[in-house]
Amino acid sequence: MDESVLFVAYFSSAEWSCFLSLGWPLPERVLDLWCEFRNLLNGTHPTAGFSLLGCLAYFGMDSINTTEKQAMRELAMSGGPYTEQQMESLLDYCQSDVDALHRLLPKMMPSIDFPRALLRGRYMCAVAKMEHVGIPIDMQMLSLLRRQWEAIREGLIESINGPFGVYEGQSFKRDRFATYLTQNEIPWPRTERGQLRLDNETFREQAKMFPQINPLRELRHTLSELKLEKLSVGEDGRNRTLLRPFASRSGRNQPSNNQFIFGPSVWLRSLIRPEKGTSIAYVDWSQQELGIAAALSGDKGLQKAYDSGDPYLEFAKMAGAVPTNATKQSHSAERTAFKVCMLATQYGMSEHGLAKKLNKPLAFARNLLRQHREAFPVFWRWSQSQVDSAMLSKKLQTVFGWTLRTVGGDNARSLANFPMQANGAEMMRLACSMATEAEIRVCCPVHDAILVEAPTSEIDDVVKKTQSIMREASRLVLDGYDLESDAKVIRYPDRYADEGRGTAMWEKVIGLAKESERSAQVVSS
């Protein structure tokens, strides 16, 4: 199957997963009509959804009914053994999908963006390879956590709830939390009906201004969202789940938070541990979105800041807020303020939002934004032009054609950030495609990072190769502009850890689990 052959499929990573299991080579040219249908209507909500049946319905074509399709999928996933009639039914079902594509392709051809559609099909092959590899998990620790989860929950509440007094048993009491906020003079956002906002995003933002809230935030997040039994880990100790490519508006992957190890609380990622004789490396672009903004806007000042290696400190120097010989250590407070401002501008944050995020007076935030506009005027004009274009043309596009339809309800802030997020997604897809084609074992993509695996004796070379590929991907997306990357290598027997994020909670959880295990053994003996 050389490049003269074009494979047409719908959500083709499923087919390629089968190819990999059978040891078959993957095709070089793929046109995935799932990707193209998503791209055609991204930002809208087609009546019947984005499935093959939904696509057929959109183009006014007949198909099998949803109930029949679901029954056939469940039969196929049951794994057999099958009767002759069941095998015949499954083959007929597969043939019906092929026949549907044969009818669908001519209908979709006028809207397909060749040759860039082949980049999206190419990525579906990479998705299958990454899902095939999976992420190495410490099964012994996972089993311990699952056995002792109820004791861990109780222990976490007991150890963290003390200063807050907001739990009764395992129930969070809203009135007690209101009392705590009043006693500690902490303002808190409320709903239109006057109720305290208790979603994780509100807790996250509030914890940045009032750090004493953070232990409670992490506890609530752990108790409410972490469902260990749903974490998808196979008998081989690998975390695998559908990466759900192109599922988000920006074109990023959107795997299940419950099933993907990088979805739940940060501390749980310490379950990631390379197998004996191997190592893993977390390779991420340095300030990717900022670099994309610098490149696409053509703002030379912003490019200079990015190229300095510390754009936040460079911005502070450009604004005259710190001396030219300032360092991250000598002026950490100033750097932090300018960092928050720089990141906030990518999301179109207002001066009110920035003041709240920094926990500073409005005048302070207003002055920071003024300094940013003066330092990077080309970026600001470009950013506004992106929003204006989206409003007028009703769409925004990446350099490789991923399109957002702006049909109403899109705010200026989300439109302003789309070029950075969506072109970052293009960069990630290209890097994953190139890396998997170079026979690098890519475990998964994570936002602006790639997790790779190799024998320990080869990991340093694999990291260099991965970083070279990521630089090349950035050059291709940004018309020659380089984005650098950082790498964190974890060698067996060490485990993955986000430094400063979740380490204390991991140690607390493991301590509670082991203590409960010992107590259970004493009782049983």
- Structure confidence at residue 181 as a pLDDT band (50, 70, 90): very high
Q: Average of pLDDT values for 361-387?
A: 95
Identical fold, 230-285+422-504 and 289-399: no
| Structure confidence at residue 348 (pLDDT) | 80
What DSSP line would sit under 140-197, residue for residue?
HHHHHHHHTHHHHHHHHHHHHSTTT--EETTEE-HHHHHHHHHHTT----B-TTSPBP
SS3 content of the chain, % helix, strand, coil (to 5): 55, 10, 35
Calculate what percentage of the chain has a pLDDT beyond 90: 82
pLDDT, mean of residues 271-284:
98
- Residue 486 tokens, joined: 């950082």
Could you tell me the fold of the domain covering 230-285+422-504?
Alpha-Beta Plaits (3.30.70)
Find all residues with CB under 8 Å of 9, minimum gap 6, and list them: 15, 30, 31, 32, 33, 34, 101, 124
Over range 368-372, report the average pLDDT: 96
Give the per-residue pLDDT at 525. 65
Q: Would the pTM count as exceeding 0.85?
A: yes
pLDDT tens-digit map of 298-339:
999 999 999 999 999 999 999 999 999 999 999 999 999 999
Tell me the pLDDT band of 1, cut-offs 50, 70 and 90.
low
**pLDDT tens sequence across 290-299:** 999 999 999 9
Written as one string, the DSSP assignment of 484-503 is -EEEEEEETT-----TTTTH
Say what the pLDDT of residue 498 is: 84
| pLDDT of 188 above 90 | yes
Cβ-proximal residues to 373 (8 Å cutoff; 6+ apart), any chain: 380
Average of per-residue pLDDT across 396-406: 96
Domain boundaries defined on the chain: 7-133, 141-229, 230-285+422-504, 289-399
Do 10 and 32 form a contact (C-beta atoms < 8 A)? yes
Tokens in use for 187?
């303002």
User: What is the rounded average pLDDT for all residues in the chain?
Assistant: 94
Does residue 225 carry a pLDDT above 80?
no
Which pLDDT band, with edges at 50, 70 and 90, does 7 fall under? very high
Q: What is the pLDDT of residues 127-169, one digit of tens each?
A: 999 999 999 999 999 999 999 999 999 999 999 999 999 999 9
Q: Are 64 and 135 in contact (CB under 8 A)?
A: no
Q: What is the mean pLDDT of residues 467-483?
A: 98
Residues with Cβ within 8 Å of residue 284, at least 6 apart in sequence: 446, 447, 448, 449, 450, 485, 486, 487
Residue 463, Cα to own-chain centre: how many angstroms? 21
CB atoms within 10 A of CB 123: 26
pLDDT surpasses 80 at 501: no
CATH number of 289-399: 1.10.150
Question: What is the average pLDDT across 414-440?
Answer: 97
Q: What is the pLDDT of residue 393?
A: 92
Q: What pLDDT score was predicted for residue 483?
A: 97
First and final CA of the chain: distance in angstroms?
Answer: 63
